[in-house]
């Protein structure tokens, strides 16, 4: 596959939104907002307790509405005036879009969207509205967040693979690379691409990636300056 030197792929995770006050998934206590991820981000957890899960995401949605994109989101968006940019994000928040990015693939779904338990194709834009028990589609199916839970199929993975394989520059930012298949994408970057990864505490950054340790809100703007000045 030929490499496109003018194309940048950004693969982001929760760490890019950490500087906007949104908690990451695997903090010290291993809990997400004091819940086990399996209890609130799995079909089993939803089946066991619709209300707990709907309330959990209603809280996340309100928190995201209050949050603001940070310098990392803005810097990533500013790349678009110099390069063809595709953002592949594991995040369910809309901070990349609100920071100005116009080409964002959400591989784990989106907090601003809902779907019916009867039909995982029809997706409704709900913005920051709550989803409550009894909110149903016209077939009477309970609405749920359009978010990829553990064990469910990720979105857009083939498209993501195509994009990362011919990008001239790859920035992996704010992800522990714990969750597959998305984490596997990093290996498909073009061998000659410039590959950079930013995180706080990666034990083993992927081979052939330049590791920039530090907060994304600080590290990403200076990397973007470097790339634009090249």
Q: Does 20 bind ligand APR (CB under 6 A)?
A: no
Q: How far is the CB of 107 from ligand APR (least distance, A)?
A: 8
Told to check if 93 binds ligand APR by CB under 6 A, we report no
Choose among 170, 127, 150, 118: nearest CA to 8.
170
Least spacing, CB of residue 2 vs ligand APR, in Å: 30
Active site residue 108: yes
CA distance 8 to 194: 9
Binding ligand APR (rule: CB under 6 A), the pick from 35, 78, 200, 227 is 200
For 5-32, letters b (16+ CB in 10 Å) and e give: bebbbbbbbbbbbbbbebebbeeeeeeb
DSSP of 48-113: H-HHHHHHHHHHHHHHHHH----HHHHHHHHGGGTSEEEEEE---S-HHHHTT-S-EEETTEEEEE
40, 53, 95, 179: which one binds ligand APR (CB under 6 A): 179
Sign of CA dihedral 123, 128, 130, 134: negative
Comparing C-alpha atoms, which of 183, 176, 190, 179 is closest to residue 151?
A: 179
15 binds ligand APR (CB under 6 A): yes
Pick the catalytic residue from 96, 108, 163, 190: 108
Q: Choose between 2 and 28: whose C-beta lies nearer to ligand APR.
A: 28
Residue number, nearest CB to ligand APR: 15
Q: Pick the stretch among 22-30, 46-54, 56-64, 78-86 that binds ligand APR (CB under 6 A).
A: 22-30
- Minimum Å gap between C-beta 175 and ligand APR is 3
Sites of contact with ligand APR (CB under 6 A): 13-15, 18-19, 24-26, 37, 90, 108, 174-176, 178-179, 198-202, 215-216
């Amino acid at each position: 596959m030929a490499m496109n030197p003018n194309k940048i792929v950004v693969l982001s995770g929760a760490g890019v939104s950490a500087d906007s006050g949104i908690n990451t998934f695997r903090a010290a206590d291993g809990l997400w907002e004091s819940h086990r991820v399996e209890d609130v981000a799995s079909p089993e957890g939803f089946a066991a307790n619709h209300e707990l899960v709907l309330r959990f995401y209603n809280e996340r949605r309100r928190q995201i509405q209050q949050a603001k994109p940070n310098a990392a989101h803005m810097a990533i968006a500013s790349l678009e005036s110099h390069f063809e940019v595709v953002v592949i994000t594991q995040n369910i928040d809309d901070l990349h879009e609100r920071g100005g990015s116009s080409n964002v693939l959400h591989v784990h779904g989106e907090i601003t969207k809902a779907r019916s338990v009867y039909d995982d194709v029809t997706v409704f834009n709900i913005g920051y509205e709550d989803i409550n028990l009894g909110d149903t589609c016209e077939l009477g199916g309970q609405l749920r967040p359009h978010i990829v839970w553990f064990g469910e199929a990720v979105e857009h993975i083939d498209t993501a693979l195509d994009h990362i394989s011919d990008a001239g520059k790859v920035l992996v930012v704010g992800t522990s690379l714990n969750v597959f298949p998305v984490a596997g994408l990093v290996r498909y970057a073009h061998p000659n691409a410039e590959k950079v990864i930013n995180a706080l505490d990666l034990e083993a950054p992927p081979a052939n990636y330049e590791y920039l340790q530090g907060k994304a809100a600080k590290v990403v703007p200076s990397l973007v300056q470097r790339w634009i000045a090249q």
